[in-house]
Amino acid sequence: MNEKQRSILLQSSTHFPPPKGTKLSYGTAGFRADASILQSTVFRIGILAALRSLKTGGAVIGLMITASHNKVSDNGIKVADPSGGMLTQDWEPFADSIANAPDPESLVQLITEFAKKENIPIDGSKAAVVLLGRDTRPSGESLVEAANKGICCVIGAVAINMGIVTTPELHWMVRARNKGMKASEADYFHQLSTSFRCLIDLIPEKSGEDNDAIGKLVVDCSNGVGGEKLQDLTQKLNGFLQIEIRNSGGNSGGILNEGVGADFVQKEKLSPQGFGPSDVGIRCASLDGDADRFVYFTIILNGNNKINLIDGDKILSLFALFIKQQLTILEDSKKPSVGIVQTAYANGASTKYLKDLGLKVIFTPTGVKYLHGKAEEYDIGIYFEANGHGTILFSDLFLNCLEGIKNESSSTENGLEKRKAAKRLWAVGNVMNQGVGDALSGLLLVEGILQHMGWSVDKWNQLYDDLPSRQLKVKVADRSAVITTNAETCVEKPPGLQEAINSLIGKYRQGRCFVRPSGTEDVVRVYSEAETQEEADELANSVANIVQQFLG
């Protein structure tokens, strides 16, 4: 680092002192905290984003200001790597260290040492590009400005403000730019809408139930950025899909993530605000605050706002079934490797359903970064968490294979069907965001598959019956005392705890239970399943008591 660069960093960082008495950590969701204490953090992560661009040879990096499903007074920051995926885990410790550096001198020293270790040229000889985006939170504008100043205090770095966007949009834009593709919001909507229409055009003439009976989709947009963007996308669909938007934010009067949104619906199993008895029998969906996850639901008649939840596990199962069907049509063509990636929180009934389809199911620790990384190892990698965050990844090799099949000249009935299957799979790869979970693209694929199958939402929900489950939190003095293995399903330390859990599990029909330390709180999380809700509750409580005995 030359003296000019050092001077700029020192001078600029004096305007963004870190909050006292607060330690922030970059997790799966990046940094999140009350917006009032984040100015320093986003400034410093702006510097990190510029360094990341330099490290990757000037590739475009993304920086998104959002706190997703958190309350409106919170905000946060996520970094998108050149692939459109999340920031490489190797850089997370550096993010933590610079976010918590106590003063400008310490900050510049950390940057200097890291740049030297990583061979990053921060002397103005190379250019860096960072795309900036934010959701609709009131604090977003000032935080984008802080991030912009952080980026621009690295000589040769340029920040491009993409305005208000969903998190998946920004990830898509980063990936597209690095592939040399057009990458505006209009291009994003064009790719999603044309791929969706391709799926609709390829629906068999006679397909299950009457497609006209499927009816409209009503979407709760969490009073967040998804409302505006879904409205824009719907206009591009030219009537191919009937959507009614609620809780759209803006002037609708609702508060972001308050009694609305995918997180609320999935955890509480209640209908969001703005939904009621008149919606019984209607297919409904809910997005989270930055539109990177979604769930479906139907309202129960006289159910006191209770719902039938169709979560990420069932979304994954629908996608896996459709892809399996198309691969079966391709039959003797080169068989791609297919991996279904779940965490231990996936309902056991979903895992059994997927295995019964003949699909390979792999488990990873909790966190999208683990799921996404494992899915990338397959020609077709499908991952979803129960909370509705996930996507489908296609390898370049498989996409090239599909291109070849699409262009085959055979006029036999079998050849025509193969070409249609290849086109459907190609459309899936273009609808689904290849960088990160995307609620808008996921909605379109669900709707396309339901129309292809001729299925109502109730028929989809009957793929399998979830095993009753329960989640609990046990407050402990030191969560780090619990160390797990086997994708967090088995306790390694403290000794004897796993054996005690196993003895309890054996008392229950279809019993399953695991514990894991929280990544954010001093608690140990307990998850249980059993044949009945009463047994699942009893198992969870018994294991919670055992954890308390071991950890005090």
| Interior/surface letters 502-530, b for 16+ CB within 10 angstroms, e for the rest | eebbeebebbbbbbbbeeeeeebbbbbbb
Contacts (Cβ under 8 Å, ≥6 apart) of 534: none
pLDDT above 60 for 544: yes
- Told to judge if 68 belongs to the known catalytic residues of this protein, a careful annotator would answer yes
- Can you name the CATH fold of 313-461? Alpha-D-Glucose-1,6-Bisphosphate; Chain A, domain 3 (3.40.120)
- Of the two residues 540 and 413, the one the predictor is more confident about is 540
Cβ(264)–Cβ(240) under 8 Å? no
Cβ(433)–Cβ(168) under 8 Å? yes
Identical fold for domains 3-182 and 191-308, yes or no, is yes
Q: Which amino acid is present at 209? A: E
Nearest CA to 98 out of 82, 87, 86, 109 is that of 109
State both tokens at 534.
Answer: 């009463």
Average of pLDDT values for 260-288? Answer: 95
Rank 24-38, 182-196, 410-424 by mean pLDDT and report only the highest: 182-196
Q: What does the DSSP 8-state code read for residue 160?
A: E
| In the chain, where the domains are located | 3-182, 191-308, 313-461, 469-551
pLDDT above 50 for 8: yes
Q: What is the pLDDT of residues 456-498, one digit of tens each?
A: 999 999 999 999 999 999 999 899 999 999 999 999 999 999 9
- Can you name the CATH fold of 191-308? Alpha-D-Glucose-1,6-Bisphosphate; Chain A, domain 3 (3.40.120)
Residues 278 and 295: their CA atoms lie apart, in Å, by: 20
**How much is the pLDDT for 410?**
77
Average of pLDDT values for 103-114? Answer: 97
**How much is the pLDDT for 333?**
62
The number of C-alpha atoms within 13 Å of 178 and in the hemisphere containing its C-beta is: 25
pLDDT above 90 for 408: no
- Can you name the CATH fold of 469-551? TATA-Binding Protein (3.30.310)
Model confidence at 208, pLDDT cuts 50, 70, 90, reads very low
pLDDT above 60 for 337: yes
Rg of the Cα trace of the chain? 24
Q: What is the pLDDT of residues 229-262, one digit of tens each?
A: 999 999 999 888 999 999 998 776 799 999 999 9
Average of pLDDT values for 377-403? Answer: 96
**How much is the pLDDT for 211?**
46
Under CATH, which number does the domain 3-182 receive?
3.40.120.10
Residues 116 and 514: their CA atoms lie apart, in Å, by: 43
Mean pLDDT of the chain: 94
Q: What is the pLDDT of residues 488-527, one digit of tens each?
A: 999 999 999 999 999 999 999 999 999 999 876 789 999 9
| Residue 531 falls in which region: left (phi positive, over 0), alpha (psi -120 to 50) or beta | alpha
Active-site option among 68, 139, 193, 542: 68
Residues 186 and 256: their CA atoms lie apart, in Å, by: 25
Contacts (Cβ under 8 Å, ≥6 apart) of 27: 367, 519, 520
- Put simply, whether the predicted model's pTM sits higher than 0.75 gets the answer yes
